[in-house]
Chains A and B, each alone.
Chain A
Amino acid sequence: QVQLQEAGPGLVKPSQTLSLTCTVSGNSITSGDYYWTWIRQLPGKGLEWIGCILSSGNTYYNPSLESRVTISLDTSKNHFSLRLTSVTAADTAVYYCARTYGGLDYWGRGTLVTVSS
């Protein structure tokens, strides 16, 4: 059974860096043709695809966030990470990690990150 779990601070100050990890169990992040993905949901709004990383390490980012986003793999811990720099209140959202394989087939429960001083 594949499971994903997000972790990270729930509160980040404006202009600082948001950092989240997604720990994967039941699936090695280095195997297969999976895209390890980050999505966010702004309060009361719809879903926004942030970006993804392949097991090869190749990354794809949403152009709207590309200048501030980095997604990376940590194979020793079987997790992947999201870094979003220079955050503002507009980055307040529930952040989800997911596996993409024929759709976003496994999701984490999501973690609320609030940007506030």
Chain B
Amino acid sequence: DIVMTQTPLFLPVTPGEPASMSCRSGQSLFHSDNKKTFLDWYLQKPGQSPQLLIHTLFYRASGVPDRFSGSGSGTNFTLKISRVEAEDFGLYYCMQRRVFPYTFGQGTKLEIK
């Protein structure tokens, strides 16, 4: 299985400030056939299901604000929030879809500073 490692585990941020979190995979998530990188980002708020933010490295899901951006390559990935808003606080997960079984990182908790 591909191990996904997220850092930091806790990220205190003041609303209005930027935030950045990282995800590393145990092997490359780049698919040479279609030139895509199969890395997604999800946000889970307390008591809710996870929601898709970014798929396939940098594509924002429908309705996701453009303050969210995904980047990276190979085995190292970053989710950035340009200016954190109150609705952004929660648990962020990265997930790889390069091979079965899909695997998730352990999560980064974005919390109010």
**A associates with B:** yes
Q: Are A107 and B106 in contact (CB under 8 A)?
A: no
Q: Are B61 and A105 in contact (CB under 8 A)?
A: yes
Q: How large is the interface on A (under 10, 10 to 19, 20 to 34, 35 or more residues)?
A: 20 to 34
Inside 8 A of B106's CB, which chain A residues have their CB?
46
Question: Which of B59, B61, B62, B100 neighbours the largest number of chain A CB atoms within 10 Å of its CB?
Answer: B100
Give how many A-B residue pairs fall within 8 Å (CB-CB): 53
> B93's contact among A47, A62, A107, by CB below 8 Å, is which?
A47
Inside 8 A of A110's CB, which chain B residues have their CB?
49
| A14-58 near B? 1/0 per residue, CB < 8 Å | 000000000000000000000000000000001111010000000
Q: A46-B93, A49-B101 are in contact. Are A103 and B56 (CB under 8 A)?
A: yes
Q: How far is the CB of A82 from chain B (nearest CB, A)?
A: 15
> A109's contact among B42, B49, B105, by CB below 8 Å, is which?
B49
CB<8 Å pairs between A and B, sample of 18: A46-B93, A46-B104, A46-B105, A46-B107, A47-B95, A49-B95, A49-B101, A60-B100, A60-B101, A61-B101, A62-B100, A63-B101, A96-B50, A102-B56, A103-B40, A104-B95, A105-B62, A107-B49
Given A100-B97, A105-B61, 10 extra CB contacts under 8 A: A49-B102, A62-B101, A63-B1, A103-B52, A103-B54, A104-B40, A105-B52, A105-B55, A107-B49, A107-B51
